[in-house]
Amino acid sequence: MSWSLKIARLFGINVYIHWTFLILLGWIFLSSLGSGQNMQEALLGVAFILTLFACVVLHEYGHALTARRFGVPTRRITLLPIGGVASLEKMPEKPREELLVAIAGPAVNVVIALLLFILMQVAGITFPTEQLEDPSQISLGNAFIPNLLAVNIILVLFNLIPAFPMDGGRVLRALLSMKYNRAKATAIAAQIGQFLAIGFVFLGFMYDFWLIFIGLFIFLGASGESRYETTRHLLTDLKVSDVLMHQFTEMDAWSPISEAIDTLLDGQEKDFIVTEQGDLIGTISRDDILRGLQEMGPAERIKRIVNTDWVRLAPDMELNEAYDLMNQRNLSICPVYSPEGDLLGVLNTENILEAIMIERARGGQG
């Protein structure tokens, strides 16, 4: 994710903080001062937010480390003002594994809440029960430990709402997948999530306007997850060789950008592989070409704008696997090589989208 600053690396996973998170801290600090709190109280409020997000990081590590047990790596963890995101390479497809990965995050918050409760009992700290009845009563910095306990409980309850993109939605799909195939389980879970989202929106109009945003967030998340899983289901029986493009254009690394512009205008292709002395060195897209033209001019060599972060695909690779890989690496085109190392063709995202449309049309026959 762009505009993020790396702040730590634990268990082989980088932790990043998005720049907007710093705005949140500044807003908390200035709001505290503006409400009449002194400097110490305002700093305590900021410390509370930092501690809360440390709990969020632990929550995300719960997902990440559990996924690692099932062979699924995590690219990074990013902190945003609305929470944290553990960027798993993929979700495990076995229902039991997805269930454990999904439940691991909230389970971490349960453990934190229990530890804080034990600490309160030992230290004789009383718990302001009105904060569970009305979360708006939580005052940052005051009653630090009870507030932290209350927020962890809220995190558990919120994350276990049975709707995508919350953990509860994935728990629900994992349970449904024990009876149905993954696509049908996702569709059912998404429909339940959308029903709950509509309920949140109605409640928002009657009680709290923030519930409207939560409802929209859930509705969009459920819709997105359903579309993604439907796409994967349509590609289930296809391999890379089934949609391989044998006709494609190679660009020479030492040709000028103006030549790439001419190629763009002369045909329908938008993504190209780039070679140097016969060896493939990378790829370029239409956006790369236009950006290079704007920043460097038409006389600059294509080599200056080539994307060297590319991967080679095998013809017998599952198309779903290739689709996921290209999405994860933000690649629009990949070369396809035979086991002997011969370049057979290319696969691009347009080809995959056309395959999806064809499979959807086939599914609609009869």
Question: What is the structure's pLDDT at 262?
Answer: 92
Q: Return binding residues.
A: 59, 63, 167
Q: How confident is the model at residue 291 (pLDDT cuts 50, 70, 90)?
A: very high
Q: How confident is the model at residue 137 (pLDDT cuts 50, 70, 90)?
A: very low
Q: Map out the domains of the chain as residue ranges.
A: 1-160, 164-234, 240-363
- pTM of the full structure: 0.72
Does the domain at 240-363 match CATH 1.10.3720.10? Answer given as no
Polymer length in residues for the chain: 366
Cα–Cα dist 263/154, whole Å: 56
Is-catalytic flag, 340? no
> Which residues is 77 bridged to in the sheet?
15, 86
Both structure tokens of 265? 């205008």
DSSP H or E segment with residue 80: strand 74-80
Cα–Cα dist 181/89, whole Å: 21
Cα–Cα dist 53/24, whole Å: 12
Angle 185-190-192 (CA atoms, 0-180°, nearest 5)? Answer: 100
Q: Return binding residues for Zn(2+).
A: 59, 63, 167
Cα–Cα dist 120/135, whole Å: 19
Q: How confident is the model at residue 366 (pLDDT cuts 50, 70, 90)?
A: very low
pLDDT digit string (tens) for 7-48? 888 888 888 888 877 787 778 777 777 777 777 777 887 888
Q: How confident is the model at residue 150 (pLDDT cuts 50, 70, 90)?
A: confident
Q: Which amino acid is at 201?
A: V
Neighbouring C-beta atoms of residue 46, cutoff 10 Å: 17
Least confident piece of the model among 64-68, 135-139, 222-226, 354-358:
135-139
Catalytic-labelled residue, pool 60, 98, 225, 229: 60
